[in-house]
Each structure stands twice: as structure tokens, then as C-alpha cells.
Copies of this chain bind each other. A is one copy, B any other.
Amino acid sequence: MSMQRREFLLSSTAMAAGLAATSDIQGQTIPKPKRQAALKLSSQLRVIPGKSLDKKLATMKEWGFDAFELPRNIVGQEKMYEEAAAKSGLAMSAVCWGSHDGALVSEDPTRRKECMAAIKEVLASAGQLKSTGVIYVPAFNGQTKLRNIEIRKVLTDTFPALGEYAVSVGSRILFEPLNRKEAFFLRILADAASICRDIASPGVQMMGDFYHMAIEETSDMGAFISAGAYLHHVHLASRIRVLPGQDDRQFVDGFRGLKLIGFQEYCSFECGVKGDRSVEIPKSLAFLRRQWAEA
């Protein structure tokens, strides 16, 4: 058992032993989170109205967002984002990077090596921007010939070193579980957390997305509890991937999970909008704040 895993287990055991203050539900003790959770809101830029980056960020600030999510192509554009963020007063959340054609888990080890250069570049940029980390999908369906058990082994073999690099540049990789139609390899938050635990690097962590979770997870709360301290970013979208509040998708159960794990990172819109963005986005923010209060 690796040292990190042992520490993780010990800390779970400490929680289990009720060393943290506990409250009582029907004769049952639930550990209090070590940190008080906070709902910090972010969005991808695509969905925000405005003709320039500055205008989009000014609008986001006015609406009460805390941060904006960075697009995949940030390398060489660090100064632009840094200045715009400073001007707006918003922080930068995660970088929505993707799978790089699944090359890091390709059946061809040469392709894996080539892709390492690209992910290292974006990790360095993300670190410079003090972003939450780089969102990474190991492989969309069809992007590698490896079987799932083999993909997992490539990750646990090669990502400890990549995680060390990420830490050295002040960033981290964030595994993103999607849904089976897009990426069968990684769909369940508990599975992503298990991979993070085995890689055992603070530079390799994970996120969750309410849209995919509605398809794959039976319990948002259970999923976030399993993600635990590995969770560093959340994507917000409704069941049909429009704004939260625009269909029946509820967020209270998931927010309950985020509160139980003391989540303090960003929840960020990755979705479309039905209707007028200037009306609907503030409405969605208010809806989310109500759901957080209920949780």
C-alpha cells in the first residue's frame, strides 16, 4: 500500500472514529467536514454575452460570478487572460482542455510521449494563471485500441511522474468523468477517485459534471462523497445541458455532497441556454443559490 493511500485511509478512519465533531441524525453520527464548503460560481466564456473578453468578464462580475473558466488554447495567451482577469476582479477556474485525441493512453507508446509535451505546456500555463487545473479526458470512445483495464494501467504507470511535473509548475490534472456515449472508460466519479488514489499525486485530481452525472450516477451525493478531497472542479448543466433551473434537474442532493466534503473550489457553467442569456443566466445563478441554501 502506498504511503499516500495509507494516509488517506487513516484520515478516513479518523473521520470514521468521530474525531471530528459530529452531529446526530436518528441516532447516527455524520462527520462534520474539515472545512466549511462555499458555493463559488464560474462559467465558460462561450455562453456569456459580450463582444470582447473584457465585456464578458465585466458582465460576469456584475452578475456575481467569482471566476471564469479558461478555454483549451491558453498557451501563449497567458498575459491576455491575466490582464483581463485582473481588470475584472474575477479569478480563473479550470482550463477545459480535453483528451488530445486520447494520445496519452494510445496503444502506440510513441504517441503517448508526443502528447506529454502538449499537456506539460498547458499545465505550465495553467500554473502561471493560478487556474484550478487542467481538465483532462483520458479517451473519448474510439480514440484508443486499449481495453479499459489497459488504459487504467497506462494512467497509473505514467501519471505519477506527470503529476509531479504538474505540482512543480503549480498546477494539476483534473480527470473528467463523462458519460458512456462519449467516453465509456471514465463515467463514474468513484472510479475516477479510485484512479487518483492509486496514482497518489497531488498533481492528479478530478472533477464532476452534473450533466454527465444525471446519466451515469444513481446518487449525486454518493458520487461527491466518493470523490472527496480529490474533487477540485464541478461543471454545472441541466439534464438536457442547458442552464441549471431550465429543466427538472435538481442540484440539492449534489450540493449536499459538496457540503459534506467541504468543497471550496468552483462550480462552472458548461451548457447552452434556452432564451435570452441576459435574463436566463442571472435567473440560473439565483436558482443555484437557492438550491445551495436548501442543501
Partner of A29, one of B18, B36, B294: B294
| Number of chain A residues close to chain B: CB under 8 A | 56
How many angstroms from the CA of A33 to the CA of B262 in the assembled complex?
22
Complex-state Cα separation, A256 to B70, whole angstroms: 39
- Chain A residues 97-129 with CB under 8 Å of chain B are none
Chain A, 22-45, contact with B by CB distance < 8 Å: what is the 0/1 string? Answer: 011110111011001000000000
Residue A80, interface by CB 8 Å: no
- For the complex, is A216 an interface residue (Cβ under 8 Å from B)? yes
Copies of this subunit: 2
- Min CB gap A180→B, angstroms: 7
Assess whether A29 is in contact with B193, with CB atoms less than 8 Å apart.
Answer: no
Residues of A at the B interface (CB closer than 8 Å) are 8-9, 12-13, 15-18, 23-26, 28-30, 32-33, 36, 141, 147-149, 152, 180, 184, 187-191, 193-194, 196-197, 216-219, 221-228, 230, 248, 250, 252-253, 256, 259-260, 294-295
Query: Known pairs A18-B294, A194-B217, A218-B227. 12 more at Cβ < 8 A?
Result: A8-B218, A9-B248, A12-B253, A17-B250, A17-B252, A28-B259, A152-B180, A188-B190, A188-B194, A189-B190, A190-B222, A225-B225
